[in-house]
């Protein structure tokens, strides 16, 4: 998505209230919608990756989710599937909704549509966005998320940490 591409703006109730360019959204920290997709496999591992150093938000940090900005007119589930495919090559599996939450900091402000997939196919990293990736047991990924050696993006950490803790504790992972 380029700086001139349009993004829908959202209110706190999940309603589209306008549009702005991606550059305006970033420059003015306007509330928009974004997706986060946890990618797990049948062995119960979680795919963890490191963002490239050229990303405009949180460059070089680790992440537990594929995802990105929902484009103007795009359905959040379609955006989640698109982002999982573009970043990691994940396709052909159902998105399991985890919920919707608000996230805001000095860099970004958005309504987060969170999903999970179970995927055992090949992972294909998008070199413009993903510098490194590996499957980790969920307990190990959780340890990485909470240590000082692996700096993680704050947004998906805040949005998905409790979900991963429940997974490690053996509680039901996908609700609903």
User: Is 86 marked within a binding site?
Assistant: no
DSSP assignment of the chain: --TTSEEEEE-TTS-EEEEEEHHHHHHHT--EEEEEEEEE-TTSEEEEEEE-TT-SSSTT-EESEE--BPBTT--HHHHHHHHHHHHH---SS--EEEEEEEEE-SS-EEEEEEEEEE--S-----TTTEEEEEEEEHHHHHHHHHSSSS-B-HHHHHHHHHHHHHHHTT--SS--
User: Is 175 marked within a binding site?
Assistant: no
Q: How far apart are CA 87 and CA 64, in angstroms?
A: 12
> Which residues are part of a known binding site?
83, 87
Which residues are annotated as part of the binding site for Mg(2+)?
83, 87
């Amino acid at each position: 998505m380029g700086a001139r591409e349009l993004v829908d703006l959202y209110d706190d109730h999940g309603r589209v209230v306008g549009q702005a360019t991606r550059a305006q959204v970033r420059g003015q920290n306007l509330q928009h919608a974004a997706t986060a997709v946890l990618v797990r496999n049948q062995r119960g591992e979680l795919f963890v990756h490191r963002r490239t150093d050229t990303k405009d938000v949180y460059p070089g940090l680790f992440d537990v989710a594929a995802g990105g900005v929902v484009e103007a007119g795009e359905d959040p589930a379609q955006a989640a599937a698109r982002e999982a495919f573009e970043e990691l090559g994940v396709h052909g599996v159902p998105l399991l909704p985890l919920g919707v939450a608000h996230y805001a900091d000095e860099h970004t402000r958005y309504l987060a549509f969170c999903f999970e997939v179970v995927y055992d196919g090949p992972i294909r990293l998008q070199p413009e966005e993903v510098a490194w990736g590996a499957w980790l047991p969920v307990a190990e990924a959780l340890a990485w998320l909470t240590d000082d050696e692996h700096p993680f993006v704050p947004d998906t950490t805040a949005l998905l940490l409790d979900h991963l803790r429940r997974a490690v504790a053996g509680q039901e992972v996908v609700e609903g």
